[in-house]
Structure 1
Amino acid sequence: MFNGLNDIDWSALQHAYGSAQEVPALLVSLRSEDPAVRRRALDECYSTVHHQGSVYDSTVAALPFLVDVAEDPGTGDRSAVVRLLVSIGESAVEQAGRGYGSDTDAGAQAVAVLRERAAVFERFASDSDPGLREAAVGAFAWCMEDAVAAGAFLRARFGEDADVQVRLAIVAAMAGLAARSETMGIAAWEWFGSVAHKGAAHPVLRFSALAYSAQVAPDRIDDGLVERGVGFLAEVRVAPVEPAAATSQSANGGVPPEVVAAFADMDRAVAETTVVTKLLGVLHGALGDRLADRAVLIRAQLSHVDDAVRLDGIRDAQGLITAWRGDHAALVDALADLLHGIGPVPARAAGALGACAPVAGAAADGLGTYVASLAGEPLAAAWHVADDELREPFQEAVLALAKLGDVRAVPYLVEALDSGVDTWKGVQVAGGLSEATGVLAPRIAAYLASLNPGSRRDTMRVNAALSALGKLGDPGTIGPIMDALTAATATNSGNDVPTAAPAALNALAALGPAAGPAADAVWALTGSANLHIQAAAVKAWWRISGDQDATVKLALNLLDASAWFAINDGASLLTEFGPDAAAALPRLRELMGHSYEWVRVSAAAAVWAIGGETETEAVLGVLLAAWNRNAVTGRVVAPLLDRMGDDARLALERIRAELANNHRGDVASLRDDEMVLGHCRAVADRFTDG
């Protein structure tokens, strides 16, 4: 089996982490009698010779041995090895240039090696082990030179194999084949139609065929496709998802709790994935911007009898709302309708409403009622109860209510902050509840004092607490903020080292003149060698002291900084001084030609604020070019155009194009996108008659 393995100079070959000298040992370990050893070896193969789907020269060299390992009946987990081979083949086709061609790189070489062994995959696909058959049929999307022959083989196997999972894999392989071969596109679409219309077929097979028919021929989607899909979906039954444990802030080997929670969320998403999850993703992807059809499908998911399909619906509803503009009231209502009982469904629904908070205001009453029904005694006992089924939906609903800025969340947040359990979650949302500053700010300040601002482990939580204190604006918290600033600057060692100092300075800036006792410390940091700290200190100095002359000079210095973010901060600050900052105009005009669009935008905004109408044409040229290049700059460009009044007329075409675009694009957040749209509407309305 391993003849010639040691004749290869593996040290001269490469994988994701350098020399491939350990690959022979991995290949041999795949034949181990110990399942744990085999599992580790397989994981290492995925992380080295097939890292994130890549194909290397070491991958090509390993392929013949991997095929031999998979062929040997004595190998444990043969299907797992075949899945690795199929995954490598899929990636290799993409790497080779998509489709049938090219023999110039590792991807093309890998495809050639595997196509030479197409007969082996035929044997795997006909094996008595259904797991091996399921793993192998995916290879027929690419392993035969003759795409028509590959399609015929798949159709034949579909007719002969009674196993539903294998047949689902065949349907998916046919879609992959159609994507790589124009000659197979229509044939596959017609075959999918025949499968979908077979009344005796398993419902999930019919749904699968319908989803892939839409994917391979989106231009052939008819008005009744979604209705048929909803009908098929209603007949599908999905086994209950094994609940994944929620996480609390308890220490986990020194790992910050927010990091633990993030990985737990990823694990939970994997655990909640079913065969239907992928098929729904295929159908939603094919429907694309047919938002009304997708909303109909999602509402069917949300009302499905099985929790697993409802969970998919929650994720898809959140994805649609956050990625696409439009009237999402019906989806928000459908999510709110899931706020009853306990368990993962109401927990995810509440989380989705929180993620969509800028457009989910109509769900506030539902969230408030749901939270009150779970609260228990004392008031927020459900926040820290041991039962995940209760604690998670309660926490998510309280957090969503707070993200909506609803004061009904305050009593529960207060009790949560006092409990010491998952405090960091409450801190992240408290800043939006300024009406409750008196009860929230002291508690967050106490929480901040319990952290170490000089520790990288605590940096994210320290920053969150400082952000919340800045938004709440309680002058009584200056002391803890200053303590955090002192501790953070004491351990600072360079521009690239995370530090809480800028967050502390931003919090002081938010307090404005009330932070006067911190003025001397802030002034000292305006000369910091760390540009993150220096830029934040300059802004804080201005907000606290109101010293315009000194601030203009400091901002001018930032314009010559070596880092783009510091230049940006300096230019942004200069916009506040108007003509009084005229000395900065020459440098700002130079920066309008900077290589980075963010600097160009900030410089252009400052030039217009300082120079006025005479600068309009040049400024608009820079702003619109940057916005067209990088949609995220709209966060700055759109508000500026709104402030420009009649001068924005020259940007009207771009504004109207933005309003006509129903995709949110790459704007950083839903809240940002809604803000951009609001400013665009204001500009468009101003010129309605013209």
Structure 2
Amino acid sequence: MRMPAELDRVPWHTLTHAYGSAEDVPELIAALYEDDEETAGEALYELYGNIHHQGTVYAASAPAVPFLAHAALHAAAKRDEVLMLLAVLADHDPADVKLPHWADTPVAAICAELCRVLPELLPCLGDPDRAVRRAALRVVAAPAGLLTAEQRASAVARVEEVYAGDPVPAVRADALVALSRYGREETGALCSPLPEVRLAAAALALARSGPPCPADLVDVIAEDGADPDPGDDAFPWPGTDTTGPDDHLRHLLTEDPDAALAVTARWIAAGDLGARGSWLAERVAETWRDREPAVVALIAAALPHQRTAMELNARLRTIGHWIDHLPEPDAGLRDTLFRYADTDGETAVPALLALVRSRDPRALELVLRRTTAGPDAGPGVGPVTGPGVGVAGRLLAAAARAFPEAADRLVPEIRRLLAAGATGNEAIALVGALAEFGTTARQARPELVDCLRTRRAAIVAARRLGADGVATREVTDALHEATGSSDPSLRGAAAAAHCRLTGDPGTALRTFEELLTGRGQTSWYLGSLEAMGEAAAPLLPLVERHLGAGDAWTRLAAAEALHRITGSADRSVPVLSELVGPTPVGLRALEALAAAGRAPEEVRPTLHTLAFSPRRLLSDVPHSGNGHPDTELRAWARRLLEAGRSQDEDQ
């Protein structure tokens, strides 16, 4: 342990941390001794950012340990957080110490320093402040497998004292976890009179057993985990500084979805304190396929228990995210959503989006009422200018997907918002919504031309104009003008659309020759060639050179373009087959293979995994609101397997 007066004896200028030279470390450590909590807090924040940056440690981290240990004992403020910094610096997988290179790692150096100062930190286990005691337990547990026999015996004895007699149940539960790091199991912990201890014991046993979860452990977790100690979130335990106790328990339970949903039901029935049950249900839905009906029902049951508008909105968004996976949302759920949506409160928009995705007819009326009326028009209605325009755009885009038959009512509203000056993602969503309406969307041609000329969602507007297939002078002139834009992506989209409408490939060929031989988003430019079809044949040499590109998206786009231009998939299929997998680019490769009508034998084992895995293989983070990519992954894989069977029968 080293005092602040010794800071200048360390050659910090020769050491590095996350941001380079560690010359600032001594000043930050010295600031921990300030009486002012704000000053000490800022210093800790900086130390977390440089000597422990997002879980990574550096050459300067170990030399800081003996100084941090002294601060943990003698600083005026933030002693608990200084101890936690020590704990997370030393955090490691015990299996790592068996690796040949362990001794040369920064974390090994940190643990060696912590082992030296640990005897002097043991008195913190008896500190009057529960937060200090909890953090000290983390520190004692961190180097458990690296202590000498004498150090180990002393540490275990002190932790056992805490476990046996600490006045705070949550601290005793932490002591139980610390003892487990030393290989000590308290056999009677599951029968403890303290629910916090029973819960910790069940989590430890569950980590050892793995799935499926034993029924007795599920019962303990369901009973004792519903009402956590209000101070239990003081520090994360077990795991790293980014993994809290709830998240650790959710991870264990989620490995057995039936057990997780059983626990969820009981936690929600008990009041869903801290939204613990809701969080667990949401994790199950994002981890496992075909659990959406059960999860949506549980989240709906949790709605009355949400204590803040933020919690309630989160639950409504979850329902909206999964509701279109239900075969038929029941009337009770739709009525509940309608009650939340038909208001002027904070919950109206997420509830209305969920109601739209349930395809409840009342949703269409609420969307139109909200987007067409002014701010004083009544419940569920918002303004159409200012912040309300963003809301209106999202609602109309969702309604277009859910009610394509309502083109005569929705297209005029989309046109009006575009004409009113919608920009950015709002305008992109509105233009994209027009794709749902077929020829009716042609009514929006004037607004699309204006978007193109004013550079509002110009790329999607150009593509939409090309897809609509109406070659008026106004449209083709606007597209031709856009081919001179400084934005290369817009130039490509406009050139391809111009070629599609006029049948004249000259401008497009010149544009794409420049784009495909320069630098930029090559995969994007290749994707824009779809609108040209066979007219892009002179560009084939440029397309073919990208079939072996290092970037997967570029290879994919080149293979797709080659197929569209030539009409033959022979050279594209091998490239696409190599890309198939549970990734965003792998999903697109599946779609491209389906478009080619090919299911090569070599990819069928992968297709089988993608089609029949019980776990989700693709996440949807951030949520797009346009369907879950894993659902598409499974659907395309199954379609290709069916195509493969047909191919085999034809041979």
What's the offset of the Cα at 1:487? 4.0
Alpha-carbon shift at residue 319 of structure 1 (Å): 2.6
Corresponding residue of 1:411: 365
> Equivalent residue for 1:126?
126
| Partners of 2:495 and 2:414 in 1: CA distance | 26
Alignment check: 8 A CA contact 1:215 1:285 kept: no
In structure 2, the partner of 1:90 is 91
2:324 aligned with 1:322: no
Q: Which residue of 1 aligns with 2:204?
A: 212
Structure-to-structure mapping, 1:56-455, within 5 angstroms: 56-72=58-74, 75-90=76-91, 102-144=102-144, 145-146=146-147, 149=152, 152-153=156-157, 154-155=159-160, 157-174=162-179, 177=181, 187=183, 191=185, 194-198=187-191, 200-218=192-210, 221=211, 225-226=214-215, 228-238=217-227, 278-287=244-253, 289-301=255-267, 303-308=268-273, 311-339=275-303, 343-344=307-308, 346-360=312-326, 362-363=328-329, 365-374=331-340, 380=342, 382-383=343-344, 385=345, 391-392=346-347, 394-417=348-371, 418=373, 419-420=382-383, 422-434=388-400, 435=403, 436-444=406-414, 447=417, 453=423
| Cα deviation, residue 508, structure 1 | 4.0
Q: Which residue does 2:624 correspond to in 1? A: none
Pairwise CA distance, 1:138: 0.9
User: Following TM superposition, by how much is the alpha carbon of 1:352 offset from its aligned partner in structure 2, in angstroms?
Assistant: 0.6
Q: Distance in 1 between matches of 2:64 and 2:220?
A: 46
Write the deviation string for residues 149-170 of structure 1: whole angstroms up to 9, x where unpaired.
Answer: 3784444542343422212323
Name the counterpart of 2:552. Answer: 597
Q: 1:213 to 1:366 in 2, by over 3 A?
A: same
Task: Compute the displacement of 1:305 (Å).
Answer: 0.9
- Which of the residues 589, 602, 613 maps onto 1:661? 613
Q: How does 1:559-598 map to 2 (within 5 A)?
A: 560-563=516-519, 565-571=521-527, 573-574=529-530, 577=533, 581-598=536-553
Change in CA separation of 1:654 and 1:20 when aligned onto 2, cut-off 3 Å: closer
Structure 2: runs of 5 or more not aligned: 374-381, 622-626
Matched position secondary structure for 2:614:
coil
Map Cα deviations across residues 178-232 of structure 1 (whole Å, 9 max, x no partner): xxxxxx6xx45xx26x25531x3322322222222222442xx5x5624532344
Number of corresponding residues = 611
How far apart, in 2, do the equivalents of 1:450 and 1:97 lie?
Answer: 64
Question: Residue in 2 aligned with 1:626?
Answer: 579
**C-alpha separation between the residues in 1 aligned to 2:217 and 2:544?**
59
Shift of 1:321: 2.0
Q: Structure 1 residue 320: deviation in Å?
A: 2.3
User: For 1:651 and 1:237, how far apart are their aligned partners in 2?
Assistant: 46
**Secondary structure of the structure 1 residue equivalent to 2:39:** helix
Residues 388-432 of structure 1, C-alpha deviations (whole Å, 9 max, x = no match)? xxx32x332112122445443223223433422654234224213
Deviation at 1:135, TM superposition (A): 0.6
Q: Secondary structure at the match of 1:665?
A: coil
Contact 1:351 1:396 in 2 (8 A): yes
CA distance change for structure 1 residues 505 and 49 in 2, over 3 Å: closer, same or farther?
farther
Worse-matched range after superposition: 515-524 or 468-477: 468-477
* Contact 2:471-2:502 within 8 A present in 1 as well: no
User: Which one-letter code corresponds to 1:238 in the other structure?
Assistant: D
Tell me if the contact between 2:496 and 2:508 (Cα under 8 Å) persists in the aligned partners: no
Residue-by-residue CA offset, 1:68-120 (whole Å, 9 max, x unaligned): 11111x622311211122122216x7998788973324333222222211112
Task: Answer yes or no: is the 8 Å Cα contact 2:499–2:505 preserved in 1.
Answer: no
% identical aligned pairs:
21
CA distance in 1, matches of 2:600, 2:160: 60
CA contact (8 A) 2:254 2:280 kept: no
TM-score, structure 2 as length reference:
0.81
| Counterpart position of 1:48 | 50
Pairing partner for 1:534 from 485, 491, 500: 491
Q: Is the 8 A contact 2:57 2:106 kept in 1?
A: yes
Cα pair distance change 1:619/1:465, threshold 3 Å: closer
Q: What letter is aligned with 2:163?
A: F
Does the C-alpha gap of structure 1 residues 19 and 505 become closer, same or farther in structure 2, counting only changes over 3 Å? farther
2:510 is equivalent to residue 517 of structure 1: no
Cα distance in 2 for partners of 1:508, 1:366 equals 42
Change in 2 beyond 3 A, CA 1:174/1:529: farther
Structure-2 separation of matches of 1:209 and 1:290 = 18
Instruction: Sort the Cα spacing of 1:133 and 1:26 in 2 relative to 1 into closer, same or farther, 3 A.
Output: same
> Structure 1: any 5+ residue segments left out of the alignment?
178-183, 243-269, 386-390, 454-458, 490-499
Rounded Cα–Cα distance in structure 2 between residues aligned with 1:550 and 1:279:
63
* AA aligned opposite 2:272: D
Equivalent in 41, 44, 47 of residue 39 of structure 1: 41
How much does 1:350 deviate? 1.8
State the 1:292 CA deviation: 3.1
Offset at 1:636?
Answer: 1.8
Moved over 6 A (4+): 93-101, 239-242
In structure 2, distance between residues paired with 1:450 and 1:8: 64
Return 9-18 or 204-213, whichever deviates more: 9-18
Cα distance change of structure 1 residues 362 and 558 upon mapping to structure 2, 3 Å threshold:
farther
Which residue in 2 is equivalent to 1:257?
Answer: none
Give the partner amino acid of 1:565: Q
Q: Which residue of 2 aligns with 1:652?
A: 604
**Is residue 611–residue 633 contact of structure 2 (8 Å, CA) maintained in 1?**
no
Asked if the contact 1:20/1:58 (under 8 Å) is kept, the reply is yes
Amino acid at match of 1:298: T
SS in 2 for 1:362: coil
CA distance in 1, matches of 2:573, 2:470: 35
How far residue 503 of structure 1 moved from its aligned partner, in angstroms, is 4.2
Distance 1:95 1:504, change over 3 A: farther
> Where does 1:462-541 land on structure 2 (aligned, <5 Å)?
462-468=427-433, 474-488=441-455, 500-509=457-466, 511-513=468-470, 517-541=474-498
Matched to 2:115, the amino acid is: R
Change beyond 3 A, Cα 1:538–1:315 = farther
Decide whether aligned partners of structure 1 residues 672 and 89 sit closer, same or farther in structure 2, where only a CA change above 3 A counts: same
**How far apart are 1:369 and its partner, in Å?**
0.8
Amino acid at match of 1:167: R
